[in-house]
Structure 1
Amino acid sequence: MFSGGKEPQNPKSLKLPPSPVIDPDVIRYTLELTREDIQMLRERLKRESSKELRLSTFVVTYSYALTCLIRARGGGPNRLTGFGFVADSRKLVNPPIPSSYFGNCAIGTFKVPLRAETLMAKEGFLASTRLVSDSVEELDQSVVWKIPDFVAFWTQLPLGTQIVSVAGSTKFGVYGLDFGWGRPEKVVIVSIDQGEAISLVESRFGNGGVEIGFSLKKHEMDVLIDLLHNGLKM
């Protein structure tokens, strides 16, 4: 979308890029982290870190999913990886934009490239948490001036870089929506089928937990599921 769509020679073209082909071997999986799981991961990070980190539910769950995804892909320790997420910047700009504003006021923040070994090492979870925590802390009043950097980011990615981004949020309250058919039984964000993104929504049970959605090829998913659950036993 940012690279000119179907007409790279015309950057102002509004034509949409072609949709990527989804491999028939791709499958979905949803990890349900309870409030207790998240607190257990938070306490582990507190013990292992020598400095104070921002350990919000988003930082803890995203960092955990990011670490497991990089490890599930495998490959050499020098391969390039990275991560990114989009943040609501209405309260960050000066003067703040009213909460009643109906429009798009989001900014992306990305860290790339990173060597896979950073997150595949024994302390990979702690390393990813430090990076995500720092990225959140760096969001300030200057975010709007970084939009050109965000757009340029996509044109400068080294070929083959594994970027793990986020779709959705635990703040949207999707399980409280009712369009006349009652509350949803299961919420799935279909856009993650087309890339390395994960999805985040609040638990359907309203217990403070989080549902993390993944979409990978089956042989990678088998590895990922083991990593996700084994990490919760430590």
Structure 2
Amino acid sequence: MTYAAEHADALAELRAAGAPVTFTSWTPGVYDPSTATRSARVPITVTGYALRVKPSSQLDRAKYQALELITSEAVTLLFAPDEYGRLPELGATADFAGVRYTVRDREPIAPDGVAIMARIVVAGGGPVPVTAAAAFALPPFALAGAARLQFTASGAFAPALQLAGVADNGILFVLDASLTGATFSRSTTATYTAEIPDLVFALDTALTGATSTRSTTATYTAEV
């Protein structure tokens, strides 16, 4: 016996009464000692629907106190995952109702050990940022020219997109972008464009005459 049907019912109810939520944690990049570079981190996302609920008892308030949180900054979410049994990791970010929190505690509801849903305590709310990180690994030969990455975006955001490639001037890059539904096109001048209207973000790198075997990583943030 499983509780898959109960999970489906809980998810349907929270989809109707609550709001979508995305939890994100990251795997570390893999270090390559031969090139002294580290691969891009890979996001792990857990999605579903959640409803903000009030602390239900003195036990909840005691939990906040144990986590060194005050009631005004802590939020408890009743969460049902899109995928039966999946829950976020402690320390994951939680994007809910336009606010980014951090997961501080989770209490699964799992009669048979597989989570139907969970009560999740999050804290540290702030606006959800729109970010893109680009890691450029420069080959061990001279480069000339410049590379340009450009994209426009709006709507729902989630760190679920990764683009890797080689620009026309030989620059190797990996682009992690917090954009959902982006479509990419490539021109002969090594311009990569993802189009979802409203937010415009551009990264230009001038690497004339550069010679290096190291990776340099930069994070650029654009705010709507």
Report the TM-score when normalising by structure 1. Answer: 0.23
- The structure richer in helix per residue is 1
* Greater C-alpha radius of gyration: 2
- The structure richer in strand per residue is 2
